[in-house]
Chain A
Amino acid sequence: MKESILGHYICKVEGHGNLKLDYKSGSAKLTIDEGERLFEKLVVGHNYLDAPFITARICGVCPTSHNLASIKAIESAFDVEVSPTIVSLRKALLAGQIIQSHALHLFFLALPDYLHVVNAIELHQKNPEIFDLALGIKKIGDSLVETIGGRSVHPTTPTVGGFLSVPTNENLRKLQQTLNNHLPKALEAVDLFASFDYPSLSRKTEYLAIAKEGNISYYDGSEILSSNKFKTPIENYAYAFKEEIRSGSTAKYGQRDGHGFMVGALARLSINSDHLHPKAAYAYKRIWKKDFPTYNSFHNNIAQAIEIVHLIEESILEIDKFLSDKKSINKVPYRVKAGQGVGVVEAPRGTLYHGIKLDPDGNIQFYDIVTPTVQNLINLEEDADALMKKHSHKKPDKLFQEVEMLIRAYDPCITCAVH
């Protein structure tokens, strides 16, 4: 441990993790040292309406994903079917959340390594063009979430059955305009991230994401789909993988048949890319040019950049659908009853599961949360081992830096991974 204030933690990732490398055997260990947060216990006894508000506070970077997963879990327990226009608005909101988070990760956490600056803010003077690009993309995500979700961090508008309030048509049209204007910038970002020389790494693994009729679906996937052709309804998530507890770590570790697996942008594009909208498909085929899976987890950066293009296109389309329905209602009525439900979305870092059990008055009896980072941790360690073995000829400090860059490429959210 270095003699510095919090200095021994890996910087430019969300939350507190330590990296220990054994150069002799070529193995890496990532230990998690965020305090226990106990959100699954905190919500027990609360009324169902409190869960989306409280669970959003698990993560400041992806609060809207938690909020929506929680709402979906409750709606599934009450058998609520929301209208197509509500679904459209939620899809655009979730897209905004993923763009926000990808932009933060790509430009503010990952990019400094590749451009050799101490932090992204330095680019304001050293490379103003790229700094403007970073702010432009960040702004699209922020605008989507602020306009539809009510606030950039911790949304205020989404609720069980729909929305407490929806933006005016005028504001949505303005938003669409901003999105359209920024599409070229998003393509520039793909260009930038495709231009970097990523460390070589190739290790076969299994990718998981949620899908609807075989296509990746961020908001309403009904089944878990794997790159190994494994398939199961989302409700069976507890059977798809196991969460392992390790002493000395506040996070749990997800595994399938004794091995790691990967979720997130790279997993989604590696399973299939049939869902990509035209500009994103162009970015994938014509700018990046390589076919996923490449089995190099550093390429999660590219996958995120391609997803930003896709999700801008997606939100423009979904806002169109919302605007074209003149009789849209903000909230559907429902009846509170006892039951259990599972709510799943593709969060920025991968599949996020919320499971809930409610008593007849709608009070929470049980709550379960499985976050993407929990699912990625073992795969991350397996990748880090492979990287160390492949690059063992390099100097220790160079190798340490590369393992750190690998960790950043995964975009781990340690605050989410802690239970």
Chain B
Amino acid sequence: MKKLKIAIFDLTDCEGCELVFINLREKIAKIAEQTDIANWRFASHASDLGPFDITFIEGSPITENDIEATKQARAASRLIVALGSCAETGGIQASISEKKWYQGIQEVYGKDYKTKSKPPKPLSYYIDVDFHLPGCPINQNELENFLSSLVMLKKPEEFRSPVCLECKAKENVCLFLEGEPCLGPITKGGCEAACPSQGLRCWGCFGALKGANHKAFKLQLEKKFGKEKTKSLLKNFFSNQDEFKALYPKEDK
């Protein structure tokens, strides 16, 4: 049987999600034996041009090159996987409004500086995406399961319950009830409640959970933390998502 041809691309981001591939240590060697990792700039000299069976894209398309590469990758790949929250939702770097983004560039680089970049958007703004591995960073076990499914030519399952389910299963103290602005109830799980298990509130990095009662939760947050703070909390990771846009239809993006 022919080996699956895999590419891993990174756009503008922190490269933490592709690092999770290397953090699989022994297991990544096993995966590499059963597949053909044909293009991976971060860790390899191999730079095959495709076509690829599966292409992982990490980061947000921001520069002209990012946007062009995103389109090229789509054309050269059977399946596209958005790797991490920057690819899936724009991530934390997209939590700034477009107006502030252009202002920020002038403040950081000076008036004479001309940018060729565009404010960060999710991959899906430019191309069709087949699968998502959410998170900032992605969860190592999810990645392993996903890769195993691919190697076995099985469609990876995506079932999402809120972070709270995993958090309760670990018998953690509820940070929301303790007064923290924890976004666990409205955030997609899969992270094994990584943050709340250590006492850090959920920031929502896996993205807004479809079907959760976002409106009611927003009211709860506003009661405790006020309107402005609530918006800023939800904006960190949800700003490009429909759930956020439904709550704040007039928000400049």
Contacts and interface: CB of A to CB of B under 8 A. Distances in A.
A142 B19 contact: no
B69 A5 contact: yes
A225 B62 CA distance: 38
Contact of B96 (A41, A124, A131): A41
Given A53-B203, A118-B46, A35 B22 contact: no
B9 interface: yes
Interface string B28-44: 11001100010111111
Contacts of A124: 29, 32-33
Given A6-B9, A16-B10, 9 more contacts: A6-B69, A11-B44, A12-B41, A38-B93, A42-B92, A53-B200, A60-B13, A125-B33, A142-B23
Nearest to B16: A60
B216 to A, nearest CB: 24
Contacts of B73: 5
B187 interface: no
A57 B92 contact: yes
Contact of A33 (B49, B65, B107, B110): B65
A159 B50 CA distance: 45
Nearest to B109: A245
Contacts of A9: 41
Contacts of B47: 4, 7, 11
Contacts of B105: 36, 38
A135 interface: yes
B26 interface: yes
Contacts of A45: 232
* Most chain A beta carbons < 10 A, residue from B7, B39, B199: B199
A121 B28 contact: yes
Interface of B: 7, 9-20, 22-23, 25-26, 28-29, 32-33, 37, 39-47, 49-50, 60, 62-63, 65-66, 69, 72-73, 76, 91-93, 95-96, 100-101, 103-105, 107-110, 112-115, 117, 120, 136-137, 140, 194-195, 198-200, 203, 232, 236
Contacts of A53: 200, 203
A152 B49 contact: no
Contacts of B15: 14-15, 59-61, 415
Given A11-B45, A54-B92, A35 B23 contact: no
Contact of B45 (A5, A60, A118, A165): A118
A157 interface: yes
A139 interface: yes
Given A121-B29, A121-B37, A153-B19, A60 B66 contact: no
A40 B73 CA distance: 31
Interface stretch (A104-112, A191-199, A202-210): A104-112
B201 to A, nearest CB: 10
A20 interface: no
A406 to B, nearest CB: 16
B198 A165 contact: yes
Nearest to A13: B42
A6 B203 CA distance: 32
A86 interface: no
Interface in A34-84: 34-42, 45-46, 53-54, 57-61, 63
Nearest to A42: B96
B194 A150 contact: yes
A159 B72 CA distance: 42
B19 A104 contact: yes
A138 B25 contact: yes
A121 B108 CA distance: 39
B78 to A, nearest CB: 15
B28 to A, nearest CB: 6
Contacts of B199: 157, 164-165
A42 B14 CA distance: 15
B203 A153 contact: no
Nearest to A58: B14
B82 to A, nearest CB: 16
A119 B6 CA distance: 15
B203 to A, nearest CB: 7
Contacts of A275: none
B14 A63 contact: yes
A152 B33 contact: no
Interface in A1-30: 3-7, 9, 11-12, 14-16
Contact of B109 (A16, A135, A419): A419
